[in-house]
Structure 1
Amino acid sequence: MSEATAILRTGRKFDQVLQGARSVFMADGFEGASVDDIARAAGVSKATLYSYFPDKRLLFMEVAQNECCRMAENVVSMVDDTKPAREVLTIAATQLAAFLVSDFAQQVFRICVAEQDRFPELGRAFYEAGPQNGTRQLAEYLQKAVNKGELVIEDLQFAAEQFSELCKVRLWPRSTFGIQSSFSEAEIEEVALQAVDMFMARYGA
């Protein structure tokens, strides 16, 4: 990344552009989101918007990556490696399950699927920032738990992906197919606890 690019990606207006774009993409989808609407929502000129992102696809990818990184950082900040593995995994499962059925995650997923033939890079960007980044960080934690003798895992990456899939049970298909649009804390917690129970039954030392 060049110094000029790094400068352009900082500052109040850059944050305004991301927030404005996020709100418009959420409301109108990728195809329906216009540059005029994004600039208006961000409170900047079109020239300013284009100085940051000359392509709407780049802006969408930045919004998706920024949100996924924010979510990952939030989970990491809540994790205490000194706590028992079950406690740490329960926090991770609860946060992940809630994120997966959030309006943002569901909208981005739909956009990526709808645009995958024309713009496959959108899906790749979201996958790398979201699922791939999340399982990588989880695998790093699992390694620490293995080193402490709390878990017994041979394939850390595979186990991390299994854990993520367990957090989707019931919630993800109902949300994705429009069967249910909102979920209570109790529903999310139940799935999270069940996910951890099954994971620990398989990998607990």
Structure 2
Amino acid sequence: MAEAAEQGVRRGRKFDQVLEGARTIFLRDGFDGASVDDIAREAGVSKATLYAYFPDKQVLFREICAQECLLQVDDVEAKIDPSMTVEAMLTLAGERIAGFMMSDFGQNAFRLISGEGARFPELARDFYRNGPGLIHDRLVHHLHHLVQNGALQVDDLDLAAEQFIQLCKASLWEKLLFRMDHQVTEDRVRRSVRGAVEMFMARYAVPPKA
């Protein structure tokens, strides 16, 4: 878990209970609108218990985002098989990137950060490090291994990873951000991810030997 999210965090029997209650309130009321009283009430704990685990609201919000994003990344990596083709691995990664973006947590967290990031820039930076930044770094790691194994030819791994992530969002992200959710169907998601993989491979696949 990201170091920023661990600062000041203490664990105990009701730790997960507090996180789940806080998750509900943050996504309902936003960061600034969420009160410690409401979080404690939703979690079914006292304020003293809440403060025993988390010194303040920012640390609590960071922990929720870090855990949610790390869970998504770890789940993808657990499904990666060394025998997979490059296309299959990229498709798995792309589907999870799009899936997280479409999830209730993903959409609400991005909207929350977009709306309140100017007032809480440190919170926005931590969310990036624990979310999009973590996905980017893990993708760079896997692309590096594919290059070493001769499956891809990539000079700039950071740029290639960012390109793939953005390609997976094509035609999806803005519609979700502006609440045009009805236009984001499963077929459209598969189409976007398939196109991302095809474009990425067209640019970075190793040409067949003559």
In 1, Cα distance between the equivalents of 2:123 and 2:183? 26
Show structure 2 runs of 5+ residues with no match. none
Aligned to 1:62: 63
Deviation of residue 182 (structure 1)?
7.0
Q: Which amino acid aligns with 1:41?
A: E
1:78 correspondence with 2:79: yes
Give the conservation status (yes or no) of the 8 Å contact 2:168–2:193: yes
Aligned pairs (5 A) from 1:82-93: 82-93=83-94
Name the % identity: 47
Show structure 1 runs of 5+ residues with no match. none
Query: Relative to structure 2, which stretch is displaced further, 163-172 or 113-122?
Result: 113-122
Q: Which amino acid aligns with 1:194?
A: G
In 2, Cα distance between the equivalents of 1:133 and 1:7? 20
Aligned to 1:137: 138
Tell me the C-alpha RMSD between the 2 structures.
1.8
Query: Relative to structure 2, which stretch is displaced further, 166-175 or 184-193?
Result: 184-193
Aligned pairs (5 A) from 1:1-205: 8-9=10-11, 11-180=12-181, 183-205=184-206
The change in CA–CA distance for 1:118 and 1:7 in structure 2 (over 3 A counts) is closer
Q: Helix, strand or coil for the counterpart of 1:16?
A: helix
Give the conservation status (yes or no) of the 8 Å contact 2:9–2:59: no
State the Cα deviation string for residues 59-85 of structure 1 (Å, max 9, x = none). Answer: 111111111111111111111122111
- Taking structure 1 as the reference length, what is the TM-score of the superposition? 0.92
Q: Which amino acid aligns with 1:78?
A: K
- Taking structure 2 as the reference length, what is the TM-score of the superposition? 0.89
In 1, Cα distance between the equivalents of 2:142 and 2:47? 43
Q: Helix, strand or coil for the counterpart of 2:181?
A: coil
In 1, Cα distance between the equivalents of 2:183 and 2:128? 23
In 1, Cα distance between the equivalents of 2:128 and 2:97? 15
Deviation of residue 171 (structure 1)?
0.7
State the Cα deviation string for residues 110-164 of structure 1 (Å, max 9, x = none). Answer: 2212222221011111100111111111011011111121111001111011110
The change in CA–CA distance for 1:181 and 1:123 in structure 2 (over 3 A counts) is farther
Q: Which amino acid aligns with 1:37?
A: D
In 1, Cα distance between the equivalents of 2:144 and 2:83? 14
Deviation of residue 181 (structure 1)?
5.2
Deviation of residue 184 (structure 1)?
3.1
